[in-house]
Structure 1
Amino acid sequence: MFPERIFSGMRPTGSLHLGHYHGVLKNWVRLQSEYPCFFSVVDWHALTTHYETPEVIEANVTEVLIDWLAAGIDPTQATLFIQSRVPEHAELALLLGMSTPLGWLERVPTYKEQIEKIKDRDLQTYGFLGYPVLMAADILLYRASLVPVGEDQVPHVEMTREIARRFNYLYGRESDFEEKALEAARKLGGKRSKRYLELRNAYQQDGVDEALDQARALLQESQSLSLNDRERLFGYLEGARKIILVEPQVLLTEASRMPGLDGQKMSKSYGNTIGLREDADTIAKKVRTMPTDPARVRRTDPGDPTRCPVWELHAVYSDDATREWAAAGCRSAGIGCLECKQPVIDGILREQQPMLERAQKYMDDPSLLRAIVADGCDKARKFAHETMRDVREAMGLAYT
């Protein structure tokens, strides 16, 4: 079985905002110290919806990468790279597309939603219909076992699992698979080999799920197997197929608590964002002009914190004592709305300061960013090359 590995990507839509930080990047920062992580700017995905404005992509890619580094993504821990710099993404997407049923793509929930929702551009394109296949290729190329997503992205990972399962079913067959698997089992040693076969029979013949878990653990512990033998034995546990592409599991992330300036979810489409690297004066002005409880027409009018968008920002940026002060002051009209907003402004600027410091060196010396990207792309291509070697061989394309 392949080692646990994480893949996650982000479309280059320009500078990131605090919603991205609290919803995605804080989680990436934590994960990079727990797993091998591949984080990709998926620039080809930007073309699936914005193919008519390619001139903005390069600048957007740069902004996203600097924001990642500013947020604390560490290139010595995680692999940062640009999707289009690893052409194997396109090759795997093409080959997966050969066996992906058209009906699967047409049933993707977001496909029809986006077609109906986005009226200002033509999305009746092959690229937009096929983006789930490209997304699957992004994940499967690195044989990622875990994909951190929110609830709304779970269907996309499920689609990736189905595509991988279908590929393994079609191309994981070997004419002498069972003989090779039994030969690999003998390499485990007498006792381990016997135990492996007993557990396989318990799972396949008697349906004992625990036996599958025990057999997998046994294989994980074995140091005497080559990668190909290990793949065969994992496949032999569940049937008679070699595992070529790993079916990824969802790693659910908590929904972001970061509200926008109007109380809705922070989103560029709503025009209610605060950028990761916005200047202090602009941030202060945005927060000071936020709407508050409509009942507080005058300074002396009492209000209800739960009806005020600023209160949601207090939940993110203020400690318990400050929240108690703000709630009591609002209800009694003991403080004005501008007074209530100041701790939020202070909290945002405090959180932002280390980000600005980390970003500055890449803005001062762009060659540092280019070196990180070049190194990340080289690392990504090495993994991609290994996967594509196995994919080509399985599909009969390994001839010279």
Structure 2
Amino acid sequence: MFDHTHGLSGHRILTGDRPTGPLHIGHLAGTLAGRVQLQVRNRQTILIADLQALTDNAGNPAKVSSNVLELALDYLAAGIDPAQTTIALQSGIPELAELSTLYMNLVPVSRLLRNPTIKSEIEARGFGDSLPAGFLCYPVSQAADITAFCADLVPAGADQAPLVELSNEIAMRINRMAGEEVLPRAELLQSHAPRLPGIDGRRKMSKSAGNAIMLSDEPDDIRRKVFAMYTDHGHLRVSDPGKVEGNVVFAMLDAFDLEPEAVADLKERYRAGGLGDMVLKRRAEAVLQDLLAPIRARRKMLASEAGEIRKILEAGTAAARETVQPQHSRVRRAFGLA
């Protein structure tokens, strides 16, 4: 399922998430499972981007602060090992904020507005004239994160490619200012897993849309959500030919079923007619129950040790701050600052 991470070693990897809610299986299929593999032979940092989350949640900061621990729990439950991966809190590394401020002097507003990812996110949120300056500039903040850790690989979806491109533009500008290579270029490590649709089949999986299966969901919740999944509205009888494309159940099987040949056979039978939706849903439920049971169990165990989780975050943030300080100093010198 996650072959794009195999064989990679010796890289400096930066990745992360905004703490606006717990993670769901779409995150697992997209990058989280890959991060678990990447941590073995690479130097990986996962940044809990609480400052970035405030760019469109400043009116409800409790939503951000209350989810920091939830996000850390999801990471650890999914297999992120703090002995191999540094988990850090963005707001605990003030050097990142200063780098963001310095980089903003290098990026015209017109460049930010041309960014297709930013344009689509602004439209989706309906900001209009009330667009927060922080939201418009968050790609600059991401560039500060990437360059501060000298990351050469950034695991993310295809929509993040323009943000990595901007980071590289800034790095090259800093290098020209310094007259030497201060900051390396980064590459996007794109997951081959398609973005999982929500159980309603109408949009991507999202907690806010109420169409997601969370990593922490109980067995009854998983069962209920699987049996509510959209399949094919034209598949009225078992004997009717069914469509695989757009069928959420098949999307789940493609992402998580460990027997791809069996899934291919189910697709052939479904297209031909004679295979009922309930057969597919029972298989998908079994797959997801097996996938999430150990994650849920680890999460419950870790949740009873909140103090230890906070210690992991504190230690990771302190280690991350030590990592970025040399780059921070070099960038300051490039700007003529002591």
TM-score (norm 2): 0.88
Give the structure 2 partner of residue 389 of structure 1: 329
Q: Residue 62 of structure 2: SS of its match in structure 1? A: helix
Code of the residue aligned with 1:309 in structure 2: it is V
Code of the residue aligned with 1:321 in structure 2: it is A
Distance across 1 between alignment mates of 2:15 and 2:317: 15
* 2:251 aligned residue (309, 312, 322): 312
Whether 2:261 is the aligned partner of 1:254: answer no
Give the structure 1 partner of residue 224 of structure 2: 285
Give the structure 1 partner of residue 4 of structure 2: none
Code of the residue aligned with 1:282 in structure 2: it is D
User: Does structure 2 conserve the Cα–Cα contact (< 8 Å) formed by 1:32 and 1:77?
Assistant: yes
Q: Deviations over 1:308-367 (max 9, x none)?
A: 43233232344233653575378443x543233111101001011221122122211101
Whether 2:120 is the aligned partner of 1:113: answer yes
Whether 2:327 is the aligned partner of 1:375: answer no
Give the superposition deviation at 1:20: 0.3
Aligned residues: percent identity?
36
User: Does structure 1 conserve the Cα–Cα contact (< 8 Å) formed by 2:15 and 2:47?
Assistant: yes
Whether 2:278 is the aligned partner of 1:342: answer no
Distance across 2 between alignment mates of 1:123 and 1:312: 37
Q: Residue 229 of structure 2: SS of its match in structure 1? A: coil
Distance across 1 between alignment mates of 2:208 and 2:28: 17
Where do residues 164-179 of structure 1 align in structure 2 (5 Å cutoff)? 164-170=171-177, 172=178
- Which sits farther off after the overlay, 275-284 or 128-137? 128-137
Code of the residue aligned with 1:46 in structure 2: it is A
Whether 2:87 is the aligned partner of 1:80: answer yes
User: Does structure 1 conserve the Cα–Cα contact (< 8 Å) formed by 2:117 and 2:160?
Assistant: no
Code of the residue aligned with 1:110 in structure 2: it is T
Structure 1 residues 306 and 87, CA, compared in 2 at 3 Å: closer, same or farther? same
Give the superposition deviation at 1:380: 0.3
Distance across 2 between alignment mates of 1:384 and 1:79: 13
Distance across 2 between alignment mates of 1:63 and 1:122: 33
Give the superposition deviation at 1:7: 0.9
User: Does structure 2 conserve the Cα–Cα contact (< 8 Å) formed by 1:143 and 1:245?
Assistant: yes
Code of the residue aligned with 2:131 in structure 1: it is Q
User: Does structure 1 conserve the Cα–Cα contact (< 8 Å) formed by 2:242 and 2:273?
Assistant: no
Code of the residue aligned with 2:94 in structure 1: it is P
Name stretches of at least 5 consecutive residues in structure 2 with no aligned partner.
Answer: 1-9
Q: Residue 140 of structure 2: SS of its match in structure 1? A: helix
Give the superposition deviation at 1:270: 4.2
RMSD of Structure 2 on Structure 1 (CA): 2.3
Give the superposition deviation at 1:13: 1.9
- Which sits farther off after the overlay, 338-347 or 153-162? 338-347
Structure showing greater radius of gyration is 1
User: Does structure 2 conserve the Cα–Cα contact (< 8 Å) formed by 1:11 and 1:43?
Assistant: yes
Structure 1 residues 130 and 393, CA, compared in 2 at 3 Å: closer, same or farther? same
Give the superposition deviation at 1:104: 2.0
Q: Residue 54 of structure 2: SS of its match in structure 1? A: helix
Structure 1 residues 329 and 125, CA, compared in 2 at 3 Å: closer, same or farther? closer
Q: Residue 217 of structure 2: SS of its match in structure 1? A: coil
Give the structure 2 partner of residue 220 of structure 1: none
TM-score (norm 1): 0.75
Distance across 2 between alignment mates of 1:356 and 1:329: 32
Distance across 2 between alignment mates of 1:309 and 1:47: 32
Q: Residue 241 of structure 2: SS of its match in structure 1? A: coil
Give the superposition deviation at 1:301: 4.1
Distance across 2 between alignment mates of 1:310 and 1:249: 33
User: Does structure 2 conserve the Cα–Cα contact (< 8 Å) formed by 1:302 and 1:332?
Assistant: yes
Give the superposition deviation at 1:37: 0.6
Code of the residue aligned with 1:159 in structure 2: it is L
Structure 1 residues 86 and 342, CA, compared in 2 at 3 Å: closer, same or farther? same
Q: Residue 87 of structure 2: SS of its match in structure 1? A: strand
Distance across 2 between alignment mates of 1:286 and 1:357: 20
Distance across 1 between alignment mates of 2:197 and 2:121: 23
Give the structure 1 partner of residue 25 of structure 2: 18
Structure 1 residues 303 and 12, CA, compared in 2 at 3 Å: closer, same or farther? same
Distance across 2 between alignment mates of 1:315 and 1:336: 18
Name stretches of at least 5 consecutive residues in structure 1 with no aligned partner.
Answer: 173-240
* 2:106 aligned residue (95, 99, 115): 99
Q: Residue 294 of structure 1: SS of its match in structure 2? A: coil
Q: Residue 268 of structure 1: SS of its match in structure 2? A: coil
Q: Residue 81 of structure 2: SS of its match in structure 1? A: coil
User: Does structure 1 conserve the Cα–Cα contact (< 8 Å) formed by 2:17 and 2:49?
Assistant: yes
Runs of 4+ in 1 over 6 A off after TM superposition: none
User: Does structure 1 conserve the Cα–Cα contact (< 8 Å) formed by 2:232 and 2:243?
Assistant: yes
Structure 1 residues 321 and 96, CA, compared in 2 at 3 Å: closer, same or farther? closer
Structure 1 residues 324 and 247, CA, compared in 2 at 3 Å: closer, same or farther? closer
* 2:205 aligned residue (266, 286, 292): 266
Give the superposition deviation at 1:386: 1.7
Where do residues 29-68 of structure 1 align in structure 2 (5 Å cutoff)? 29-68=36-75
Structure 1 residues 167 and 331, CA, compared in 2 at 3 Å: closer, same or farther? same
Whether 2:262 is the aligned partner of 1:321: answer yes
Q: Deviations over 1:198-232 (max 9, x none)?
A: xxxxxxxxxxxxxxxxxxxxxxxxxxxxxxxxxxx
Code of the residue aligned with 1:276 in structure 2: it is L
Distance across 1 between alignment mates of 2:235 and 2:101: 59
Distance across 1 between alignment mates of 2:262 and 2:243: 15
Code of the residue aligned with 2:236 in structure 1: it is V
Code of the residue aligned with 1:362 in structure 2: it is L
User: Does structure 2 conserve the Cα–Cα contact (< 8 Å) formed by 1:99 and 1:167?
Assistant: no
